[in-house]
């Protein structure tokens, strides 16, 4: 492994101005020496800066030819840093702290670990690879870029905390696992794939879904009227995850669209939905 | 005078390209831009010292449009659907498209004034109205989109034959087409009527196209040309079969008619296998298309996203994203039909290339079409990659014609300039504008039909583009960004004709329009650089 450590320089100048940092990706670091990497251009607001003006870099002398061999370690107050790991195909990025929007969007492989929170659109339109967010995630986790009706189409996202609205919107493949809770429109417009939420969900889960599976192991406070209760099952095998023990309530919907989507709710916590 | 010498030895020098039909400006294009952020994000253009930034692909921003045309060696493009009420918006965008010369066609096919008076109005008054509207909207020629259908669409219906009544009016599509074609020739407008046929896009309705051509057969063409009708994106109007399952090509029949008769010209509306945005003033068709997308794998199961609009008293429009797929039998046949027309029409003065940008695909794919025309090998390669329907339901595989460079020049600039009646475009003789494209194919010219990749590459990135004598592009990079002219037409008519209809126009505006007459006409500020063509009554 060739490791690069990027530490934000202190004091942070203009911390509230967004930074477009899509160059921080193993695919772009590959085949460059550390001196070349230091000179990579990022945008802060309307200003172009070299990477070394914001970060102090240390690590291997040369990144080598294969992005898969590269590990990037980011430290600092990065909640305004956008597009980190965008379009990456291999390698690993670890972020010590919170990160801004579009983390790992369009990524096709490799792994990103965030030790804090992630902002909106994390893993948007990703086609493969893995994202592990140890804190909370924002809106549109594993969703689609603005306007795109084809969202996440592969890979895995794991969130240890909570997520906000429209998680997994337009999802077509892959798996999203959330340990905490979700707010509204979980799995909206979902086409295929799996979303597992261990905590509670407020309402409107699976709105306009046309396929795929939404599994809620906490309480769904309010169900959409366009979902129909079908049966109770004891256990559910989930590809790439294992078997979930029930009993589980099975709902199909969304009837506002074509009723091919499935929602599985833990019976113990969701008796209020079948009264 | 400073003289700059360009060494073009071994390169190909052609007049700047002329695009007769490309939706590049106006409200529906702007709606398309709003509808498709995912289309912009994949093709950004960063600014340089001389060029502005922009976003591209199927519905590019204005600056991007100008630069992309220059990169292809094109210097002229026409926006084909401008509702007069939205003329301001259209001209505001045209003003912002750099480098190329441009113009817009005025939509007249469902104008209430025309529909209401078509049975009783005398021809003088109709001519006066058309002349007034062309002037008020700054248009170049008369455009008919699904004549009568735009109005019926406001009531959720459509017209299906040439003799259906249009809403509550006494007008029929046949009457509208014939009347406006006669008026067009009477006013001696530089171009014929520019027609998007009724029932466009629907399988089995090539007969409507045939009937439409027959309907105007007797009308005497204006001075200096033999045609009295231009059928636009004819590929979309040439479908046979009873439904989508036995969908097939009827291009040979229509091409045969065009070969036999001299009164029709056309552009093809070639489709490209890519992700694009369809947009037309034919709102009814766009709604049908949205329904079709419900059954397509790339689309959400509830159908593609869409927009639809009705422009008061004048027109309608719709926008639907669409992905043409090689393995979709219908798309494969559509692809073949466009090429069939180009290869079957013998007199290339009657046909030219368009993709109906962005309906069949973005105009940036023109070089790919050139390579298909120049090389049978390129076509065969594509046929082998598409659904078998392209081979079985069309005659494309049997066509052996291979275009020469001169023939490519004919269908990409010369015939378009002739059809548009532009005396200073499409040639490099005396009186021509200094709009020049120089291409470097990096391959012996006599071997281009074997080396189709070189065709695509060479045409895709002009070595030099010169606009009005100024070098604008070198090796695919913009070096300067001047503004071209807006072409528009004013038809001179006797003053008393205008007086006869003035009261009626004023009354129409007082009663029905949401704008007042004084605010309707586009004023001279909208044409900072213009080329005005005036015509005299025949």
For residue A175, the surrounding DSSP H or E stretch is strand A173-178
Query: Which residues of chain A make contact with B304, given a CB cutoff of 8 A?
Result: 149
pLDDT at A274: 86
pLDDT at B488: 95
Q: What is the mean pLDDT of residues B91-95?
A: 96
Residue of B nearest to A172 (CA): B300
- pLDDT-derived band at B56 (thresholds 50, 70, 90) equals confident
Identify how many contiguous H helices and E strands chain B contains and give both numbers: 19, 22
Query: Which residues of chain B make contact with A170, given a CB cutoff of 8 A?
Result: 300
Q: Which of B281, B279, B306, B282 is nearest to B292 (CA)?
A: B306
pLDDT at B122: 78
Residue of B nearest to A254 (CA): B302
Ramachandran angles phi, psi of B458, nearest 5°: -65, -45
pLDDT at B118: 86
pLDDT at B303: 87
Beta-carbon contacts of A67 under 8 Å, excluding residues fewer than 6 positions away, are: A26, A27, A29, A30, A88, A89, A90, A91, A110
Residue of B nearest to A255 (CA): B302
Angstrom distance (rounded) from CA B24 to CA B14: 24
Which one of A101, A121, A146, A149 makes the best mutation probe of the B interface by having the most chain B beta carbons within 10 Å?
A149
Percent above pLDDT 90 for chain B: 88
Kindly tell me if the per-residue pLDDT of A253 is higher than 90: no
pLDDT at A240: 85
Count the alpha carbons within 13 Å of A264 in the hemisphere toward its beta carbon: 24
A254 cis-preceded (ω within 30 degrees of 0): yes
User: For residue range B417-451, what is the model confidence (pLDDT) as tens digits?
Assistant: 999 999 999 999 999 999 999 999 999 988 888 99
Angstrom distance (rounded) from CA B13 to CA B437: 6
Contact A78, A8 (CB under 8 A): yes
pLDDT at B489: 96
Angstrom distance (rounded) from CA B251 to CA B263: 17
Kindly tell me if the per-residue pLDDT of B415 is higher than 70: yes
- pLDDT-derived band at A271 (thresholds 50, 70, 90) equals very high
Query: Which residues of chain B make contact with A258, given a CB cutoff of 8 A?
Result: 301-302
Kindly tell me if the per-residue pLDDT of B216 is higher than 90: yes
Contact B362, B27 (CB under 8 A): no
Query: Which residues of chain B make contact with A143, given a CB cutoff of 8 A?
Result: none
- pLDDT-derived band at A207 (thresholds 50, 70, 90) equals very high
Angstrom distance (rounded) from CA A210 to CA B56: 31
CB contact under 8 A, B38 and A148: yes
Domain spans, chain B? 12-278+325-487
- pLDDT-derived band at B120 (thresholds 50, 70, 90) equals confident
Does B142 or A246 have the greater pLDDT score? B142
pLDDT at A81: 95
User: Which homologous superfamily does the CATH classification assign to the domain defined by B12-278+325-487?
Assistant: Metal-dependent hydrolases (3.20.20.140)
pLDDT at B1: 67
User: For residue range B232-256, what is the model confidence (pLDDT) as tens digits?
Assistant: 999 999 999 999 999 999 999 999 9
Q: Give the β-pairing of B477-478 and B470-474.
A: antiparallel
Angstrom distance (rounded) from CA B460 to CA B384: 24
Q: Name the pTM for this structure.
A: 0.93
pLDDT at A248: 95
Residue of A nearest to B298 (CA): A150
Angstrom distance (rounded) from CA B97 to CA A32: 40
ipTM: 0.88
Q: What is the CA radius of gyration of chain A?
A: 20
Interface of B with A (CB under 8 A): 35-39, 41, 298-302, 304-305
- pLDDT-derived band at B193 (thresholds 50, 70, 90) equals very high
Q: What is the mean pLDDT of residues B279-289?
A: 94
Name residues 132-191 of chain A within 8 A of B (Cβ): 144-150, 170, 189, 191
Q: Shortest CB distance from A145 goes to which of B41, B300, B304?
A: B41
Quote the mean pLDDT of chain A: 93
Percent above pLDDT 90 for chain A: 89
Instruction: Give the closest-approach CA distance of A124 to chain B in angstroms.
Output: 12
Percent above pLDDT 70 for chain B: 100
Contact B212, B298 (CB under 8 A): no
pLDDT at B399: 94
- pLDDT-derived band at B117 (thresholds 50, 70, 90) equals confident
pLDDT at B530: 94
Q: Give the β-pairing of A2-8 and A70-75.
A: parallel
Instruction: Give the closest-approach CA distance of A190 to chain B in angstroms.
Output: 9
Angstrom distance (rounded) from CA A6 to CA A71: 11
Instruction: Give the closest-approach CA distance of A191 to chain B in angstroms.
Output: 8
Q: Which two tokens stand for residue B273?
A: 């296998």
Instruction: Give the closest-approach CA distance of A146 to chain B in angstroms.
Output: 6
CB contact under 8 A, A146 and B36: no
Angstrom distance (rounded) from CA B238 to CA B234: 7
Residue in the structure block whose two tokens are 């592990």: A132
Domain spans, chain A? 1-90
Residue in the structure block whose two tokens are 């015939």: B415
CB contact under 8 A, A147 and B37: yes
Q: Shortest CB distance from B37 goes to which of A146, A210, A258?
A: A146
Q: What is the mean pLDDT of residues A100-119?
A: 95
A243 shares contact with chain B (CB less than 8 Å): no
Contact B413, B69 (CB under 8 A): no
């Amino acid at each position: 492994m060739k490791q690069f450590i990027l530490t934000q320089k202190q004091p942070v100048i203009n911390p509230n101005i967004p930074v477009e940092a899509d160059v921080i990706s193993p695919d772009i670091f590959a085949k460059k020496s550390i001196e070349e990497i230091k000179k990579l251009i990022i945008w802060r607001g309307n200003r172009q800066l070299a990477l070394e003006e914001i970060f102090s870099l240390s690590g291997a002398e040369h990144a080598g030819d294969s992005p898969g061999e590269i590990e990037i370690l980011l430290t600092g107050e990065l909640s305004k840093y956008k597009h980190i790991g965008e379009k990456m195909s291999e390698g690993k990025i670890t972020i010590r702290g919170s990160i801004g929007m579009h983390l790992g969007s369009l990524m096709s492989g490799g792994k990103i670990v965030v030790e804090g929170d992630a902002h909106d659109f994390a893993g948007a339109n990703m086609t493969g690879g893995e994202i592990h967010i140890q804190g909370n995630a924002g809106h549109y986790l594993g969703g689609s870029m603005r306007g795109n009706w084809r969202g996440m189409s592969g890979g895995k996202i794991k969130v240890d905390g909570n997520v906000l609205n429209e998680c997994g919107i337009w999802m077509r493949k892959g798996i999203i696992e959330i340990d905490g809770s979700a707010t509204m429109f979980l799995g909206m417009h979902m086409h295929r794939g799996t979303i597992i939420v261990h905590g509670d969900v407020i309402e409107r889960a699976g709105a306009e879904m046309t396929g795929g599976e939404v599994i809620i192991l906490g309480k769904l406070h309010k169900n959409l009227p366009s979902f129909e209760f079908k049966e109770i099952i004891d256990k559910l095998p989930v590809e790439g995850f294992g078997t979930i023990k029930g009993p589980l309530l099975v709902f199909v919907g969304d009837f506002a669209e074509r009723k091919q989507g499935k929602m599985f709710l833990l019976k113990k916590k969701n008796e209020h939905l079948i009264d | 005078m400073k003289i700059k010498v360009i060494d073009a030895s071994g390169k190909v020098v052609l007049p700047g390209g002329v695009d007769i039909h490309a939706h590049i400006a106006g409200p529906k294009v702007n709606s398309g831009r709003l509808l498709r952020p995912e289309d912009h994000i994949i093709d950004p253009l960063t600014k340089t010292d001389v060029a502005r930034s922009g976003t591209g692909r199927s519905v590019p921003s204005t600056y991007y449009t100008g630069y992309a045309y220059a990169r292809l060696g094109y210097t002229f493009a026409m926006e084909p659907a401008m509702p007069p009420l939205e003329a301001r918006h259209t001209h505001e965008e045209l003003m912002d498209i750099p480098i190329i010369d441009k113009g817009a066609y005025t939509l007249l096919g469902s104008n209430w004034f025309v529909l209401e008076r078509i049975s009783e109005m005398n021809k003088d008054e109709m001519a006066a109205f058309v002349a007034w509207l062309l002037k008020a909207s700054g248009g170049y020629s008369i455009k008919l989109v699904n004549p009568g259908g735009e109005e019926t669409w406001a009531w959720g219906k459509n017209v299906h034959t040439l003799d259906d009544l249009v809403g509550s009016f006494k007008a029929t599509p046949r009457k509208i087409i014939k009347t406006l074609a006669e008026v067009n020739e009477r006013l001696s407008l530089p171009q014929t009527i520019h027609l998007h046929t009724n029932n466009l896009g629907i399988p089995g309705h090539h007969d409507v196209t045939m009937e439409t051509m027959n309907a105007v057969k007797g009308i005497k063409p204006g001075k200096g040309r033999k045609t009295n009708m231009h059928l636009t994106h004819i590929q979309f109007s040439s479908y046979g079969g009873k439904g989508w399952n036995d969908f097939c090509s009827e291009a040979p029949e229509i091409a045969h008619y065009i070969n036999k008769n001299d009164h029709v010209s056309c552009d093809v509306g070639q489709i490209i296998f890519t992700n694009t945005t369809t947009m037309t003033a034919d709102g009814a068709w766009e709604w049908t298309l949205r329904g079709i997308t419900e059954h397509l794998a790339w689309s959400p199961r509830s159908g593609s996203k869409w927009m639809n609009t009705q422009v008061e008293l004048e027109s309608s429009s719709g926008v639907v994203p669409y992905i043409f797929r090689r393995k979709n039998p219908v798309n494969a046949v559509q692809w073949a039909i466009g090429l069939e027309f180009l290869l079957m029409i013998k007199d290339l003065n009657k046909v030219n290339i368009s993709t109906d940008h962005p309906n069949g695909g973005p105009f940036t794919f023109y070089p790919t079409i050139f390579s298909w025309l120049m090389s049978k090998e390129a076509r065969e390669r594509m046929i082998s990659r598409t659904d078998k329907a392209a081979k079985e339901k069309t005659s494309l595989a049997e066509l052996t014609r291979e275009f020469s460079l001169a023939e490519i020049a004919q269908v990409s600039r010369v015939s378009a300039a002739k059809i548009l009646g532009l005396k200073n475009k499409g040639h490099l003789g005396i009186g021509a504008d200094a709009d020049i494209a120089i291409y470097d194919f990096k391959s012996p010219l006599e071997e281009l039909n074997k080396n189709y990749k070189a065709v695509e590459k060479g045409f895709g990135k002009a070595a030099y583009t010169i606009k009005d004598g100024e070098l604008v592009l070198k090796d695919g990079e913009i070096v300067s960004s001047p503004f071209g002219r807006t072409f528009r037409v004013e038809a001179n008519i006797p003053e008393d004709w205008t007086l006869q209809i003035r009261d009626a126009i004023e009354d129409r505006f007082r009663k029905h329009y949401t704008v007042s007459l004084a605010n309707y006409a586009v004023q001279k500020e909208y044409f900072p650089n213009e080329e005005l063509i005036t015509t005299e009554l025949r």
